[in-house]
């Protein structure tokens, strides 16, 4: 059974939050979802996509996994949950934007610089998808921060190998965004495609493009 904290949260939702937003939920149920953005984020419990973006139910289609990783596009038909979500968001929901959001103190990135866990074969294999973002240096906080950002770029490059993503990007119907969220500062840096650097949200370069 869930602990009292979770059950009390369910009661607050049912008795307080839901009654105030009943019509919104009924509209979403009847009309379906029409999110504008696919948000690909890390499973880390400190990352709150709705809170971070100021959005609510029906506005984000969210995919979360260890390390906010985008697997390479493959014609093999396996159990590719993240790939399936990308296809659905682009082909069925017609999202306008895709955000790949990395973050500071990412355990998945840190694990890339540490010995492999023999009793976690699925985790080990999954994290290898971010191996190309690592640096040939000893682990340090600076190296981790750079790797977190390099991984975001890697995932965006992978997205462009999805045929349905590339087609819509080239048509100007879909836009990709790379973010890096620093938890302790509440700051998000945004990848400037032209410079290849992550820049503060309020910088002129970010505002322009």
Q: Which range, of 49-58, 109-118, 167-176, averages the lowest pLDDT?
A: 109-118
Strand-by-strand arrangement of the 37-42 sheet = 60-65, 37-42, 97-103, 175-182, 187-192, 197-200
Looking at domain 33-208, its CATH superfamily turns out to be: Carbonic anhydrase (3.40.1050.10)
pLDDT digit string, tens, across residues 184-204:
999 999 999 888 899 998 874
pTM: predicted TM-score of the whole model, two decimal places: 0.92
Is the predicted pLDDT of residue 205 greater than 60, yes or no? no
Is the predicted pLDDT of residue 206 greater than 60, yes or no? no
Strands 197-200 and 60-65: unpaired
pLDDT digit string, tens, across residues 56-95:
999 999 999 999 999 999 888 777 999 999 999 999 999 9
Could you tell me the residue ranges of all domains in the chain? Answer: 1-32, 33-208
What pLDDT does residue 209 have? 44
């Amino acid at each position: 059974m869930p602990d009292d904290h979770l059950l009390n949260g369910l009661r607050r939702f049912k008795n307080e939050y839901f009654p105030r937003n009943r019509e919104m939920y009924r509209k979403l149920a009847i009309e379906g979802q029409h999110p504008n953005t696919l948000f690909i984020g890390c499973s880390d419990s400190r990352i709150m996509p709705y809170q971070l973006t100021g959005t609510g139910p029906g506005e984000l289609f969210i995919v979360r996994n260890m390390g906010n990783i985008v697997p390479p596009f493959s014609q093999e038909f396996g159990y590719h949950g993240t790939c399936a979500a990308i296809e659905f968001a682009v082909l069925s929901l017609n999202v306008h934007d895709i955000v790949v959001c990395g973050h500071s103190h990412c355990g998945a990135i840190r694990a890339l610089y540490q010995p492999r866990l023999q009793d976690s074969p699925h985790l080990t294999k999954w994290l290898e998808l971010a191996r190309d973002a690592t640096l040939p240096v000893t682990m340090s906080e600076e190296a981790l921060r750079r790797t977190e950002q390099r991984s975001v770029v890697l995932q965006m490059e992978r997205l462009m190998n999805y045929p349905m993503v590339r087609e819509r990007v080239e048509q100007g119907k879909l836009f990709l965004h790379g973010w890096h969220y620093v938890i302790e500062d509440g700051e998000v840096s945004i990848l400037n495609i032209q410079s290849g650097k992550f820049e503060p949200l309020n910088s002129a370069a970010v505002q322009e493009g």
